[in-house]
Chains A and B, each alone.
Chain A
């Protein structure tokens, strides 16, 4: 039974007031249960069938731009500034926030995929992803169509890269840089260098090997070593045979680490003395250690060739700014400046001439301007079907968790 109300009139009134505004238990419970049920239903709601819609472009009122890129992929001076980006800001008034936040395609995609699916701003107006991942984003409708009127320099694109399978005519993407995956070693510890993958599996190097978490590069090199042409239609059995080799090397401890772009740290701090790496990074690593300690080579059995592609995510409200920036980096002189610093293959026609004007020896640099002979040594990993992608990447990742 409720207690009788207090004598004091003031307190009595306060108590009555408080009682009047009480919720009954039934109401509270009903509300709670109803809410939870609604939320549970919402959580199970099917994803909408149509793709996300592009954000409205606010570039004219908002002269800024966020660009997500990989480490060591932009010319940098001693103070850590990016000269070509500063020049771009001076020229166009667009402030660029350059984010070095992509370490691995899968890792980055996992971070942004939910926002992409909802058409939200992912915190980057321009992203740089490798061919196969670029293909996935474009296929899923997660990128905005490029307006060619804003990118007249698209005409400078190397013709070979115009009609790629994942983006015919390059309506949604343009290459940033390309490169090879190959072998790299510490010249002090390994004066004889590495020529084949077998050299990498030398027991002397046990635990001192780092390889890429990029399946197409690491598996690509192993497949090529098995005499399989990765650009042609190889079978699942071929892949599994190569995977067995990879698994054996990981389980036995021959491969000490499997990393994204952070593999450079393993080489710099001495945890690894050789590995499967990306071509241009070697110059950067040597810059960090302060000598020409490391050397890169494409293995005799062949290396992989890939491109990283600039794309504008579906939720970016600064599309025109991004296009202006792409256009800027397709100026041969600018492209040459970047390429000479990053040591990757530039996709811009005329960059070679511009680079030679800066550094006459650049024309011979096979990492930036590969000749026919070099290109004959590398292959592009073929496009995988959805089912293959699922099964190959599951198999690859399960090796990394020891399953």
Chain B
């Protein structure tokens, strides 16, 4: 938890006080790149108890030849954002259009898709919760299904990569483990929430004291705790948060802690070895000045223990200062190496 807060304090850009979410200015869009801002209906999010948007904002970045070569089909890289930011601002900050242009110029053409999973608590945690909505399924099924049916994609496992930063790196691990059949390769950048989140009586008491109206003002760390709670210990019978709080009868409830641990990638690996081994490739990286390096090293070691091949890199950097550059220079080239390359469609086939 300390690490998560430490990471968060390196926040990208000062956020407006009201929403406390991170913003970034629109990025340059190189010539030839097409950006579409669309909405994708999340059937898996219907009926969520937090009142989160069911039609989600999604940024779609198309490579230069997409418009000029209407017979071509492309691999797709799904890029998951972190906590307290939406998909569009994450796309802005990462300067995704430039990364797509650079890689296309080097012969690696992708469609990059950035969905927004911002929720009332500041982030979905990409988990399966009746309270937040089933965001794992939203990404793996609703979003992938929509993109495959609306764009000229290579619509099979070999043509799909999944990557994310921080909470999105966490999402990459858990969605990969739950839906291995959907994605060919994974990359986790500075993943958060890798080892089980725990609370003390003091921190749990503080969580219990937050009113639902006061969530936005409760601070990054508190919001991250509340978001974890609504994602990992949902309880449809307990309004207004619709979750089980970690504090019960003056002590930390071990059952709630166990539920949170069940959402920890580190605790999940041992039960998902087959899923993880089925990927074409897995990569993970973290900056040496990122507080999350300890956690991310733990999952690297856990993968090693189970003989799960993966690429593991640390670099001189913080939680945020090099992630856009690394997406461009390391992550997309990694997917270029592993995903099926863009190809001409069969005659008569149009997206």
Real complex partners, A and B?
Answer: no
Residues on B facing A (Cβ under 8 Å): none
Residues on A facing B (Cβ under 8 Å): none
